[in-house]
């Protein structure tokens, strides 16, 4: 069985970039809730329209909808056997409970939870630059600030849960992309 990890951190810290690099390094699947949502928005699906309305206002997609997508992704494409890096989920305590139930159902356990960290000013700067470069309508300064506030109040406290389970691997998410990847790999290889 392949490595099974979560990658967490505030918006703009580079989770997606690192998830893709780690998936390649460890030969596992990268499953990104954000990518799933963006694909549906781009292709103007019913889900995409719902998601666009929610994220344009700076809110997060419901636990139920996100959990359903994650269950499907973990159930398909041999994610259980091959391993996975789950990016963008869980974001709150209810989602942790839902993910635990899904993993239990599939007979899986997590190997690690990587959390990337960076100061708020760096995150704001990165996300504004990303909005300009990628034309991401969901990255307005107001929406960015609201999502960072939600992260601070709902997601950051989850680190204590995963630390208590002995799964947390905290890594500074600033610097050269390759250096961040090397730091994460070094920490995971200690496991």
pLDDT at residue 36, as a whole number: 81
Q: DSSP assignment of 33-51, as one string?
A: HHHHHHHHHHTT-HHHHHH
At residue 39, the 3 state secondary structure works out as: helix
Condensed to tens digits (0 to 9), the pLDDT of residues 152-179 reads 999 999 999 999 999 999 999 999 999 9
Comparing CA positions, the residue from 34, 22, 1 lying closest to residue 169 is: 22
More confident residue, 42 or 93: 93
Look up the CATH superfamily of 4-189.
P-loop containing nucleotide triphosphate hydrolases (3.40.50.300)
pLDDT, mean of residues 122-144 = 82
Q: How do strand 168-172 and strand 84-87 relate by DSSP bridges?
A: unpaired
Cα separation, 149 vs 134, in Å, equals 23
Condensed to tens digits (0 to 9), the pLDDT of residues 56-88 reads 877 778 898 888 888 888 887 677 678 999 998
Cα separation, 170 vs 21, in Å, equals 17
Structure tokens at 20: 């893709």
């Amino acid at each position: 069985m392949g490595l099974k990890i979560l990658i967490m951190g505030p918006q703009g810290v580079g989770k997606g970039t690192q998830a893709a690099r780690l998936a390649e390094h460890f030969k596992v699947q990268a499953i990104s809730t954000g990518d799933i949502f963006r694909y549906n928005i781009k292709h103007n699906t019913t889900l995409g329209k719902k998601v666009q309305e929610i994220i344009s206002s700076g809110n997060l997609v419901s636990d139920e909808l996100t959990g359903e997508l994650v269950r499907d992704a973990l159930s398909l494409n041999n994610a259980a056997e091959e391993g996975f890096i789950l990016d963008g989920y869980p974001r709150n305590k209810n989602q942790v409970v839902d993910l635990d139930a899904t993993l239990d159902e599939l007979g899986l356990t997590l190997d690690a939870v990587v959390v990337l960290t960076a100061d708020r000013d760096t995150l704001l700067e990165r996300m504004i630059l990303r909005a300009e470069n990628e034309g991401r309508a969901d990255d307005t300064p107001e929406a960015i600030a609201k999502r960072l506030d939600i992260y601070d109040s709902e997601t950051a406290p989850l680190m204590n849960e995963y630390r208590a389970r002995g799964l947390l691997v905290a890594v500074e998410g600033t610097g050269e992309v390759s250096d961040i990847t090397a730091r994460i790999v070094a920490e995971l290889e200690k496991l």
